[in-house]
Amino acid sequence: SVSCFVLLSCYKIPVIENLGATLDQFDAIDFSDNEIHWVILQGDPLCYRISACLFTIGNFCPNRIGESLEQALPSLTELILTNNNIAELCAEPLYNLYLLCSILRNPVTNKKHYRLYVIHKVPQVRVLDFQKVKLKERQEAEKMFKGKRGAQLAKDIARRSKTFNPGAGLPTDKKKAGPSPGDVEAIKTAIANATTLAEVERLKGLLQAGQIPGRERKSGPSEDAEEEMEEDTVPNGS
Count CB atoms within 10 A of the CB of residue 33.
Answer: 17
Q: Over the stretch 81-100, which tens digit does the pLDDT of each residue have? A: 888 888 877 666 566 656 67
Q: The pTM is what?
A: 0.63
CA dist 64 and 46 (Å) reads 19
The per-residue pLDDT for range 29-56, each reduced to its tens digit, is 999 888 887 777 766 678 899 988 888 8
The answer, yes or no, to whether residue 124 has pLDDT greater than 60, is yes
Which residue type does 53 have? C
CATH class of 1-160: alpha beta
pLDDT range class, residue 194, cuts 50, 70, 90? confident
Tell me the HSE value of 34 on the side-chain side, using a 13 A CA sphere: 22
Rounded Cα gap, residues 200 and 147, in angstroms: 40
pLDDT given at position 133: 94
- 63-72, 117-126, 130-139, 153-162: the lowest-pLDDT one: 63-72
Average pLDDT of every residue of the chain: 75
Is the pLDDT assigned to residue 68 strictly greater than 90? no
pLDDT digits (tens, 9 = 90+) for 218-227: 445 555 555 5
Distance CA 60, CA 36 (A): 6
Q: Domain extents for the chain?
A: 1-160, 179-216
Coil, strand or helix at 73: coil
Strand, helix or coil at 206?
Answer: helix
Longest dimension (CA), the chain: 56
Residues sharing a CB contact under 8 Å with residue 21, sequence separation 6 or more, in sequence order: none
